[in-house]
Structure 1
Amino acid sequence: MGRMLNGRYRLVESLGAGGMGEVWRAVDERLARTVAVKLVRPDNVDSDEAVARFQREARLTGQLSGHANVVILHDFGEHEGSVYAVMELVRGRTLSAILRDTGPQPIPRAADWAGQVSSGLAAAHAAGIVHRDIKPANLMVLDDGTVKILDFGIAGFHQAVTQSRRLTQTGAIIGTPLYMSPEQARCENVGAAGDLYSLGTILYQMLTGRAPFRHDEPLGVLRMHLMEHPRPPRELRPDLPADLDSLVLSLLAKAPTDRPGNARTVRERLLPFAARPGRAPAPSDAPGPPEPNAAGPDSANPAQATTRTATSPTVAEPHRDLERRLREIEDLAEEGHFAAAAQRTRSCLPELERAYGPEHPETLRARRKLAYLTGKSGDPERAVVLYRELVTELDRVYGRRHPETLAARYYLASNAGRAQDHTTAARVHAELLPDLAAAHGPDAHRVLTTRLYLAFEVGETGEHGRAVALLDALVPDLVRVLGPDHGTTLRARHYHAAYTGYAGAPADAARLYHQLLAEHTRIHGAGHSEAARTRARLRHWQDRARCP
């Protein structure tokens, strides 16, 4: 059943471990929701001051719940000598993984992501909260391009633990050397300006592909933070605008007082360079049918993405009224007014083409937004037409494996399925799979879920036997990679059982649903809605098996 914390949080799957403890995927049994639990090892909880610090910072972090760029903290507590924090479970990729796989980012994307981090830091600093460990591994890029800051409060707790052990007196350093401010390297108190310095190191790396200071030894990196000035990023990337180069260098100023005054100022200075005044497309894991919310898979050729952006027509000063209208469209979409947002996007397109050019990333992204909003507003047939036209254009401008192209192809398939054109949906998913596998490997989550969508759409065309064959191959891979309790694995087993029945084997379908019911009961409990639905499906196929 998995370890229980205080009779409420059942630990299901370890998601990773670090110096302080482990992060688990867990189930909140009281609210029947999946959460992330950061569980601090008991040996790190060796003083009342450390626990009190953890609780204080957790309460402060709770004030940030609801901010788009901060992971929500749901709860915290103590259990059998450990302390834990319960957070929203977010799916995406850490920025460290993205930078490792793709290197330098297109300027608009780097500015957009850094701007979102600035927005989260601005809210935290206004509440009196300093992160102290801003680094790519603590930034999660979600499916829709949102960047969320992880681990608020944990670095402060870590500091309290090490201070309680008097480690700082023997030269122990709290933080990550590549992204550490000079004052942090000197073991001084870190304020908001320290977070901004760390953001500057990350922005430098996103733009140039390398951290501002590198050395074979951590102490060598710390000495460079203290004593050396970074090479201007524009020397490494000549297409970098002078104002953006200046902003990066100001963030990396040695003295905190020489850095920008606050995170809000940084965000405002980044806006003119951002992909759009909202969220940029991002590497993602696609959601399950029928309603997608992912921005699309990542590029297999990041160099191509950077080159295309750099050589596209640009406008030094975007039209302010147009920028304002695009922000209003984002607000409408976030509030769920999809039809109105689609209409306004449609009216902006001619001006975008005049301001930027028809092949500029801003214009092409707006066309994808229009197609997406059209589908969300209840017109998937029209969305299919828009996506089909857009895919042809994106393939010509960027290539078939660019993130924008992959995203548009995915949404073309998902909207075709919603429009009941399952043949087109299955064909597009089948064509998408080899490009995703080439970019990310056969075991990547986005590849596995696309295989699931393909099986679903094939089944909906009436080819039930072919769907069963696809799922026969997929389910063992899902169990191996994601685990037997993962939602995607369970959904695949449901489709497998259903299409087995529709393929003419109701007794086998009943057997598969019987096994699935046992799993749902074990995971959720006999009274859970998933168990009830599975029980109803089991009875359906049992009845069909008795009455051929």
Structure 2
Amino acid sequence: MPEERVLGGRYRLLSKLGAGGMGQVWRAVDELLDRPVAVKLIRPARVGSTEITARFRREARLTARLAGHPNVVILHDFGHDPDGGDVVFAVMELVQGRPLSAVIKENGPLPLGRAAALVSQAASGLGAAHASGIVHRDVKPGNLMVVEEELGEDTLKILDFGIAALTAANQNDRITRTGQVIGTPLYMSPEQVRGGRVDHAGDLYSLGAILYQLLTGEPPFRGDRPLKVLRMHLHDVPRPAAALRPEIPTSLSELVAQMLAKRPEDRPSSAEEVRDRLSPYLPHRPTPTAPVPRLTPTLPYTQEDAKDRNADAHPIRLMELVEAARERADAGEYRAAAEELRTLLPLLRASFGPDHPDTLRARRREAYATGKSGDHSRAVAGFSTLLTDLNRVYGPRHPETLAARYYLATNAGRAGDHALAARTHGELVPDLIVVGGPDSTKVLTTRLYLGFEVGESGDPARAVELLSALVPDLTRLRGADAAVTLRARHYQAAYLGHSGRPQEAVRHYEALLADHIRLHGEEASSTQGIRSHLERWRSHMEP
């Protein structure tokens, strides 16, 4: 191919950066805007059908919504060049970095903090995509670009959104029809191996396989033939990451195992959940000795300032400030985090738009931090307003919407509005069952709080019904001695008393006290608390 070829009348190809099964990647210059770009050439003959090419075009249009996210390689343009081979091309941000596959090959297992940081950034980019209705479908180390910076603070960017849809669709079709595998099977989810529908849970499975490899130095499954590896994805359970590397914390090993669950509904509910669960393992960032350049205007500023000066709000710097506020919340500085996020929200709206995933997520975090700081009434107002927009943009069962509904209910209860809390929890339970199944932790937890809030709102008899149905499920799924089971039994006994059944309350508290003594001893504070409740209801039985 001549090096001076120009695509679409503006993209001049300069030098080849690489080639793969789907085509070639070229360093190029956008002559219209005078900027360097990367151009990926995809030959329809490699794709296999015009329908899949059309799918790529649709996904590329959706991918344009992700422009500005710090962990996504921006897709600037796409087109079709009928001359010289009928090439489909995609124009992307040119990133000066190395694929994660090269980092793995060179380093082997990474330090826990670095592995967590890289995967957390990948989860951030995937979460933004999922919130916009985009699924990558081909998450693998070769599609994750690492820009290595000073002090080891790498930036990770996800490549090939939109293009991955074309690759994965062709791959699934070939596996289904011929048993032939295109590319590596090391990171494919079971549903993708079967040729089924791949949604955000499939991306999380692939990301879990990458996290497993970063932590242990090897992928979860290996085999001498690709189809053997595919069968292992379908039927085998990998060894726990902590068994291969003992210094991996149990909770981190459990997260990896959950991400690699065979059933999509058993995996984490969202990329945001993965990010939250990785946060304890992120490396500590030292406090800079010199002032960090800030956005103009500097904090604090008014909403009018934000409107007038939003041109100064560079998206990457803006997201750095949002991330800094999130870190303050993770450190327990909830009031300060809420104030910072509250001040940043006008800039987020101006820079990204009011319905952008990062804007909506920052609003949720602001309301959450507000509630954690003790201002539950203000948190209720924030979540109530946010839910109007989340339902409109995402629908009621999106992970962001479900999280906001849950936090609305918990803050309403703490603010004393038990009727709102009970109503919100009650409406939430059936949607959580649809999303995660009736035995999921979120369903069980929400049912517990539903029983409590119903009782506190003045209907103890109904609370007893709800909790009496919950206790057997908790016993079966979590065990009779689990803290959550004992807590549900405590609520059940209390509302038996409040509903005019003190004798039954006493019997339940006597059994509960015996279990607390067996588990925690006579002098434990929890045991003393149960004994106090028992004596209270015994006194109600005295003539």
Task: Report the TM-score, using the length of structure 1 for normalisation.
Answer: 0.50
Distance 1:159 1:175, change over 3 A: same
The reply on whether 1:93 has 2:98 as its aligned counterpart is yes
Distance 2:138 2:117 in 1: 20
Residue in structure 2 matched with residue 134 of structure 1 by the alignment: 139
Instruction: Report if the CA contact (8 A) 2:138-2:168 is conserved.
Output: no
Q: Which residue of 1 aligns with 2:332?
A: 320
* 1:116 corresponds to: 121
Shift, 1:67, TM fit: 0.7
User: Does residue 274 of structure 2 align to residue 266 of structure 1?
Assistant: yes
Q: Secondary structure at the match of 1:43?
A: helix
Q: Secondary structure at the match of 2:186?
A: helix
| Structure 2 partner of 1:249 | 257
Residue of structure 1 in register with 2:46 after alignment: 44
Residues 119-518 of structure 1: pairs in structure 2 closer than 5 A: 119-144=124-149, 145-161=154-170, 168-173=176-181, 176-276=184-284, 319-321=331-333
Match of 1:69 in 2: 71
8 Å CA contact retained: 1:53, 1:156: yes
Kept after mapping to 1: 8 A contact 2:98/2:146: yes
2:130 paired with 1:102: no
Contact kept in structure 2, 1:271 and 1:277, CA below 8 Å: no
**1:2–1:226: structure 2 CA closer, same or farther, 3 Å change rule?**
same
Cα distance, 1:55 vs. partner? 0.8
Q: Deviations over 1:158-178 (max 9, x none)?
A: 245567x87632223466311
Measure, in 2, the Cα distance between the counterparts of 1:129 and 1:276.
32
Distance 1:99 1:126 in 2: 29
Query: Which amino acid is 2:178 matched to?
Result: T
Relative to structure 1, the CA distance from residue 162 to residue 273 in structure 2 (aligned partners, 3 Å threshold; closer, same or farther) is closer
Deviates more, 1:133-142 or 1:167-176: 167-176
Contact 2:11 2:31 in 1 (8 A): yes
Contact 2:22–2:42, Cα closer than 8 Å, also in 1 = yes
SS of match in other structure, 1:179: coil
> 1:43 offset after TM fit, Å?
2.0
- Give the Cα–Cα distance (whole angstroms) in 2 for the partners of residues 154 and 85 of structure 1: 8
CA deviation digits over 1:446-504, x for unaligned, max 9? xxxxxxxxxxxxxxxxxxxxxxxxxxxxxxxxxxxxxxxxxxxxxxxxxxxxxxxxxxx
User: For the residues of structure 2 that align with 1:37 and 1:7, how far apart are their CA atoms?
Assistant: 14
Aligned to 2:36: 34
Gaps of 5+ in 1: 280-316, 336-548
**2:118 and 2:336 mapped to 1: Cα distance?**
19
Letter aligned with residue 7 of structure 1: G
Give the direction of change, closer, same or farther, for the CA distance of 1:96–1:45 in structure 2 (3 Å limit).
Answer: closer
| Contact 1:35–1:89 (8 Å) recurs in 2 | yes
Measured in 2, the distance between the counterparts of 1:41 and 1:159 equals 15
CA contact (8 A) 1:49 1:160 kept: no
> Separation in 2 of the partners of 1:50 and 1:318?
43
Deviation at 1:225, TM superposition (A): 0.9
Aligned counterparts of 1:199 and 1:90: Cα–Cα separation in 2: 21
Residues 97 and 251 (structure 1), Cα distance of their counterparts in 2 relative to 1, 3 Å cut: same
Q: 3-state DSSP class of the match of 2:38?
A: strand
Change (3 A) 1:166 1:321: closer
What is the Cα deviation at residue 323 of structure 1?
Answer: 12
Question: Closer, same or farther in 2 for the Cα pair 1:189/1:318, shift >3 Å?
Answer: closer
The residue matched to 2:278 in structure 1 has which SS?
helix
Q: Distance in 1 between matches of 2:282 and 2:73?
A: 22
Quote the offset at 1:131 in angstroms: 0.7
Deviation, 1:214, is 0.8
| Structure 1 residue 14 corresponds to structure 2 residue 16 | yes
2: CA distance, partners of 1:153 / 1:104: 30
CA deviation profile, 1:502-527 (whole Å, cap 9, x unmatched): xxxxxxxxxxxxxxxxxxxxxxxxxx
Q: Which amino acid aligns with 1:240?
A: I
The total of aligned residue pairs comes to 294
Distance in 2 between residues matched to 1:25 and 1:94, nearest whole Å: 16
Amino acid of the structure 1 residue aligned with 2:45: D
- Paired with 1:260 and 1:3, the residues of 2 have a C-alpha distance of 46
* One-letter amino acid matched to 1:138: N
- CA drift of 1:146 comes to 1.1
The residue matched to 1:172 in structure 2 has which SS?
Answer: coil
Q: Mark the CA change 1:20 to 1:263 in structure 2 (over 3 Å): closer, same or farther.
A: same
**Structure 1: distance between partners of 2:113 and 2:250:** 14
The C-alpha deviation readout for 1:130-179, integer Å capped at 9, x for no partner, is 1111111110111331110011111211245567x876322234663111
1:218 partner amino acid? P
Q: Structure 1 vs Structure 2: percent identity of aligned residues?
A: 58
Q: Which amino acid aligns with 2:78?
A: F
SS at match of 1:169: helix
Structure 2 regions of 5+ residues with no counterpart? 288-328, 348-543
The CA distance in 2 between the partners of 1:162 and 1:181, in whole Å, is: 13
- Distance in 1 (CA, whole Å) between partners of 2:175 and 2:184 is 16
In the TM superposition, what is the alpha-carbon distance from 1:5 to its structure 2 partner? 0.6
Letter in 1 for 2:18: G
Q: 1:61 to 1:174 in 2, by over 3 A?
A: farther
Answer yes or no: is the 8 Å Cα contact 1:132–1:155 preserved in 2. Answer: yes
- 1:167–1:221 Cα change, 3 Å: closer
SS of 1:78's equivalent?
Answer: strand
Q: Which whole-Å CA distance do the structure 2 matches of 1:319 and 1:47 have between them?
A: 51
Distance 1:278 1:176 in 2: 39
Q: Is the 8 A contact 2:40 2:89 kept in 1?
A: yes
Match for 1:244: what amino acid?
A: L
Higher relative contact order, chain-length normalized (CA < 8 Å, sep 6+): 1
Cα RMSD (Å) = 2.9
